[in-house]
Structure 1
Amino acid sequence: MARIDDLPPLREVIATHGLNAKKSLGQNFLLDLNLTAKIARQAGDLSGCDVLEVGPGPGGLTRGLLAEGARKVLAIEKDDRCLPALAEIAAAYPGQLEVINGDALTTPVLDHLTPPIRVAANLPYNVGTELLVRWLTPPEWPPFWNSLTLMFQREVAERIVAQPGSKAYGRLAILAQWRADARIVMSLPPEAFQPAPKVHSAVVHLTALSEPRFPADAKVLSRIVAAAFGQRRKMLRASLKGQAPDMEDRLLAAGIPPTARAEEIDLERFCALARLMT
């Protein structure tokens, strides 16, 4: 196995520091440094960027990001057992790694980062989708990040890139594709991780658009999409009837058959409907 730095192999790091993955923290550690380096390369040119990493664990992806030339990596780690291993990486890359022992959902990361900023993370399973939705729905757009390179369960990754007419298509696809280009760039089998999860995983790369793909009010679009997919088996005239007294007329004005179901409607027509609801 090729070495990406002079630090010990990850199995040795995990054994030395007693880092058995905790299910309660959604931890599944990637052990192959060749794979973590490949994921880091999917994030693009890091040489002039600060990188936000959530849930670094023993630091496999952290090392990949630093080896790929990240200007700085800010690693948010909730598990204080991992801090000694991350400190060893910080010592090997002086001034390039800052580690915060905290919760990514509450840590004010922008106090520690300088644009341009990329996000790259093997996200803990239990907070991955919530973090993605937060990054896709900031109060103002463009967001603080230029790109997101994120590991998810394969099922979640497919929901992010799904197209109309598929079972995976839903609210997550709308949120992601309205404001970003999203594509799956890697797939990983369960045995790449310790412990091996029961599902396959995939890396999704999202590049922020300078402005949304179609005009719409973010809160209105989110409300309409949530209502439509909240009862996805129903016709839209039923699932959206509480949104306005003349809902069928608004659906028709947006080019949407009232008898259609949410999974049949593309992003452009959802945005057209959102504009008619303001």
Structure 2
Amino acid sequence: MTPEAEFEPLRAVISRHGLQASKALGQNFILDRHLLARIAAVPGDLNGQRVYEVGPGPGGLTHGLLAAGANVVAVERDRRCLPALAELEALFPTKLQVLEADALSIDEQAAVGAGAHIVSNLPYNVGTALLLRWLSGPWLPWWRSATLMFQREVADRIVAKPGSKDYGRLSVLAQWRAEARIAMNVHRSAFTPPPKVMSAVVHIVPREMPASVTPAVLERLTEAAFGQRRKMLRSSVKDVPGALEALEKHGIDPTRRAETVSVAEFVEVARELSARR
């Protein structure tokens, strides 16, 4: 392994290690190092910062993060990719740690510490589950920002505003205590193999949680409200104890549908229900 290998084209790395993206693991590789560098730049200056990456695959984005000066902990469950990542570890012995693990079960804070940035081209089949995991639990969370690749339709749901067709439970859970924006769109042709859909990079920054709101209450409320989104609130949330009374108290018309209710209104109802627990 020579220093020049640091700049070896990713297509050559993939070919040399006989790698193919696994559909079962939701993998799609990005080969364009310039695009990967742009993604690595979304969180801002990462020089000396700790970064957590899920599903690095052959290490394209990992290399971009390391080139930006980040200290990276990368979690990969696909053993086929480990030899390519080991070569990166050899090039950046004090900057990169690769863990063979399942990202859905690993203790991230123990692995990377508090105050890290998450940057990842998430495997499509676990992206939403990981985001919901990172949005739950104690707040403020262990991560400072999250820069994540999603299918465009999922990205639209994360940042959607009330009244839009994409606004739903994921929108509320992402926005009630974090700022979320689409940082860039990524054409399907940027991936190998090209997925059937377009993608987008979402940048999420946590902010303080509204006082006196229990996360589990908001999750239950939004699950009920959007679980039957074609129905009026008086029907969709009637099985959530106290929900109809809370709607009335806060002047929210129970004949409205969930997609018309703002994040702030959901938070007010959840606060009312949390106080009754």
TM range, normalised to the smaller chain? over 0.9
1:54 paired to 2:54: yes
- The aligned residue for residue 237 of structure 2 is 240
The 8 Å contact of residues 121 and 151 in structure 1, kept in 2 or not, is answered as yes
TM-score (normalizing by structure 2):
0.94
| Code of the aligned partner of 1:162 | A
The 8 Å contact of residues 149 and 205 in structure 1, kept in 2 or not, is answered as yes
CA distance in 2, matches of 1:109, 1:221: 24
Q: CA deviation at 1:5?
A: 7.9
- The aligned residue for residue 93 of structure 2 is 94
1:272 paired to 2:268: yes
Once the two structures are superposed, residues 16-45 of structure 1 have per-residue CA deviations (whole angstroms, 9 ceiling, x without a partner) of 001100100000000101000100000222
Once the two structures are superposed, residues 194-253 of structure 1 have per-residue CA deviations (whole angstroms, 9 ceiling, x without a partner) of 0000000000000111x1256521111110011000000000000011113x64332121
Runs of 4+ aligned structure 1 residues displaced above 4 Å come to none
CA distance in 2, matches of 1:271, 1:136: 15
The 8 Å contact of residues 26 and 124 in structure 1, kept in 2 or not, is answered as yes
CA distance in 2, matches of 1:253, 1:117: 41
Task: Select between 86-95 and 73-82 the one with higher mean Cα deviation.
Answer: 86-95
1:173 paired to 2:171: yes
| Code of the aligned partner of 1:220 | V
CA distance in 2, matches of 1:77, 1:146: 21
Tell me, what secondary structure is at the counterpart of 2:143?
A: coil
Tell me, what secondary structure is at the counterpart of 2:205?
A: strand
* Aligned-pair Cα RMSD in Å: 1.4
1:133-152 matched pairs, under 5 angstroms: 133-138=132-137, 140-152=138-150
- The aligned residue for residue 116 of structure 1 is 115
Same amino acid, percent of matched pairs: 55
- The aligned residue for residue 221 of structure 2 is 224
- The aligned residue for residue 184 of structure 1 is 182
- The aligned residue for residue 202 of structure 1 is 200
The 8 Å contact of residues 50 and 115 in structure 1, kept in 2 or not, is answered as no
Once the two structures are superposed, residues 71-94 of structure 1 have per-residue CA deviations (whole angstroms, 9 ceiling, x without a partner) of x10100010010111011111112
Tell me, what secondary structure is at the counterpart of 1:23?
A: coil
Task: Select between 38-47 and 122-131 the one with higher mean Cα deviation.
Answer: 38-47
Gaps of 5+ in 2: none
- The aligned residue for residue 65 of structure 1 is 65
The 8 Å contact of residues 243 and 273 in structure 2, kept in 1 or not, is answered as no
1:249 paired to 2:248: no
CA distance in 1, matches of 2:246, 2:108: 41
TM-score (normalizing by structure 1):
0.94
Q: CA deviation at 1:255?
A: 2.2
| Matched pairs, number | 271
Gaps of 5+ in 1: none
Q: CA deviation at 1:109?
A: 2.5
- The aligned residue for residue 44 of structure 1 is 44
Tell me, what secondary structure is at the counterpart of 1:187?
A: strand
| Code of the aligned partner of 1:196 | P
